[in-house]
Structure 1
C-alpha cells in the first residue's frame, strides 16, 4: 500500500477555509469551505454538519450536509438523507436517498469502460 492510501483527511466542524482545496487523498468536510475543491482521483464526503459553497471536482462525492455549487465526478455522486445540494451534477452514476434535497441539472456521462463496452456491441 502506497503512502496515503486508505487514509482520509478531515476538515473539522470549527474549521473555515476560503480558497482552493486540492489533494490526492479522500477528504471529509465537517466545517465551512468556500471556493473550489479538486480531488481528481479521490472521494469527497460532505459531512452532516458541513456548509460548502464551492465547485467540486472529484472521483466520488458523498453529500450528507449542505453544498452549494456544481459537482463534477468521474465516478458516482450520492445524496444521502438530509443532504441539500444546489447546483448542477455531472457524473457517471447518481444516487439520491429519500429526504435529500436537490435543485439543479443532471448530466449523466458514460465512463470510459462503459463507452468501450458499448462500442464493441
Structure 2
C-alpha cells in the first residue's frame, strides 16, 4: 500500500506569492505564484484554480490550471485536459491530454 505524502504545501485560492520558492516537499497550487518554484525531487501540482507566471523545476509537474513560464521536469510533465501551458519545457517524459492547451517548445531529454 502506498503511503500518502504528508509533506505537501497547499497554496490556497486566495493566496498570491511573488518571488522565489524553494524546498524539499511537494506543492499544490490553487492560488497564484509569480517568480520561480524549485522543488527538486518533488511534485508541483497546479490545480484547476491555480495560476503560475513562474519557472517551475521539479521531478514531476502536473498541470490542471494555467502555467505561463518554463517547466523543467526531471521525470514527467503531465498536462491534463483542463490545463494550459504557455512556455518552454525540458522533460524526460510528457503527457498531454486531449483538450489541453500548449504553446511553446518541448525538449524531451533522456538520462
Give your verdict on TM over 0.5. Answer: yes
Question: Partners in 2 of 1:45 and 1:23 — Cα distance?
Answer: 14
Question: Partners in 2 of 1:79 and 1:6 — Cα distance?
Answer: 21
TM-score w.r.t. structure 2 length? 0.93
Q: Runs of 5+ in structure 1 lacking a partner? A: 112-121
Tell me which structure has the larger Cα radius of gyration: 1
Stretches of 4+ moved more than 4 A in 1?
A: none
Question: Partners in 2 of 1:81 and 1:23 — Cα distance?
Answer: 28
Number of residues paired by the alignment? 107
Question: Partners in 2 of 1:51 and 1:92 — Cα distance?
Answer: 23
TM-score w.r.t. structure 1 length? 0.86
Residue 110 (1) aligns with residue 110 (2): yes
Cα deviation, 1:44-87, whole Å, max 9, x if unaligned, reads 00000011000111110000000000001100000001111000
Cα RMSD after superposing both structures: 1.0
Higher strand residue share: 2
Question: Partners in 1 of 2:56 and 2:16 — Cα distance?
Answer: 17
Q: Runs of 5+ in structure 2 lacking a partner? A: none
